[in-house]
Amino acid sequence: MKIALIAHDKMKDDIIDFIKRYKDVFREHELYATGTTGRLINEILNLKVHRFLSGPLGGDQQVGAKIAEGNMDLVIFFRDPLTSQPHEPDVTGLLRLCDVHCIPVATNLGTAEVMIKALKNRVDI
């Protein structure tokens, strides 16, 4: 599967910890990430990841383009619900594209856990 990984600044540690816990699952898939998140995944976890631009610089839109083209299967986006984001319209657009194209999207740890456990157990999602 092609999995997009995105995290707002205050959520970067959380997504790294999450991926670390399921590194064996993520290793089996093609990973994509926005700027800093992708760099951290590569440097800290030594996982191969295709990096897009940083979210505020267009990375969210690049993920959205992959979704619109039918080239993304799953999105994990650890959003910071308590901090206003300067690129909120891009975030909203990305989530809308997930809905339009029926792409499973997790915006918090609980939903991400369910999705990755399904992948780990080879359940279709």
Q: Is 87 annotated as a binding residue?
A: yes
Residue 38, marked binder:
no
107 is in an annotated binding site: no
Q: Which of 9, 39, 14, 42 is nearest to 27 (CA)?
A: 42
Q: What letter does residue 108 receive in the DSSP assignment?
A: S
92 annotated ligand binder: no
Question: Annotated binding residue at 111?
Answer: no
Quote the DSSP letter at residue 93.
Answer: H
Q: Is 60 a catalytic residue?
A: yes
Phi, psi (5° rounding) for residue 98? -60, -45
Q: Beta partners for 33?
A: 5, 51
Residue 83 labelled as part of a binding site:
no
Phi and psi torsions of 24, nearest 5°: -65, -35
Q: Which amino acid is at 33?
A: A
Name the catalytic one among 60, 73, 90, 124: 60
Q: Is 31 exposed, middle or buried (0-12, 13-18, 19+ CB in 10 A)?
A: buried
Q: Which residues are annotated as a binding site?
A: 8, 12, 34-37, 54-55, 87
Q: Which residues are annotated as a binding site for substrate?
A: 8, 12, 34-37, 54-55, 87
Q: Report, as residue numbers or ranges, the catalytic residues.
A: 60
